Amino acid sequence: MSDEVLVTDADGILEVTINRPEQRNAMTKAAAEAIAEAMDRLDAEPALRCAILTGAGGTFCAGMDLKGFLKGELPVAGERGFGGLTSWTPKKPVIAAVDGHALAGGLELAIACDLVVANVNARFGIPEVKRGLVAGGGGVVHLPRLLPRQLAMELALTGDPITAQRAYDLGLVNRVTDGPAIAAARELAATIAANGPLAVAASKGIVRDSWLWPADEINTLQAPYIAHVFVSEDAREGARAFAEKRKPNWQGR
């Protein structure tokens, strides 16, 4: 694991911190590979229920390390894309905790996560056109699906950022906080981690994959995601815990 990314865990939550604060956490290939490795760990360890991705030093990620780019380096991890996360997703949820700037690849990394929590002073944008580049890590593809088309077009063509509050009002951000984003992200992660892990993973998979499912095939396509959940030990435990007015003891099976 590269020292450009710090990984800790507590109470079922994996925290992954981009650790290049002097470079505003600009992404390198080593950091991208370390994030991908951390996400593999998230899926591999049953005790881990959720992950938080954040940045050290008061900023999330300012995008690609341009010095590395000039040397021919791309901050991707194989087929997993920018930051090791923009072209795939782990089975378990990932929350972006955004302080400061989430710009260029940083914004693409944030929206590649399943949920976004931001400090009120955070800014989101894809300024690639200001450098003669294109937001090719998912920005120009996914933003028109997440925002009104005209606003996505404005972000792509002007390169100007929007505030965290504006992003929240448009549904790009789940929660805005006056304090550090990591604190609010931990609260959200704890809520998720308290739920049935099989049900959480299935729900995430359906929400992500059903984007273009034909309406008349939804039930058929959804079935493989949920069939094992309804016959699981966790499903029975959830019902028993409700009847007995206690917290469930999830087994993940």
Using alpha carbons, select from 77, 81, 69 the residue that is nearest to residue 23: 69
Count, residues in the chain: 253
What is the side-by-side order of every strand in the sheet holding 123-125? 101-103, 123-125, 162-163
φ and ψ of 170, to 5 deg: -90, -5
Catalytic (active-site) positions: 108, 128
Q: What is the DSSP string of 56-110?
A: GGG--B-SB-HHHHHTT---B-GGG-BTTTTT---SS-EEEEE-SEEETHHHHHH
Residue 213 gets the label, from left (phi > 0), alpha (psi -120 to 50) or beta, of: beta
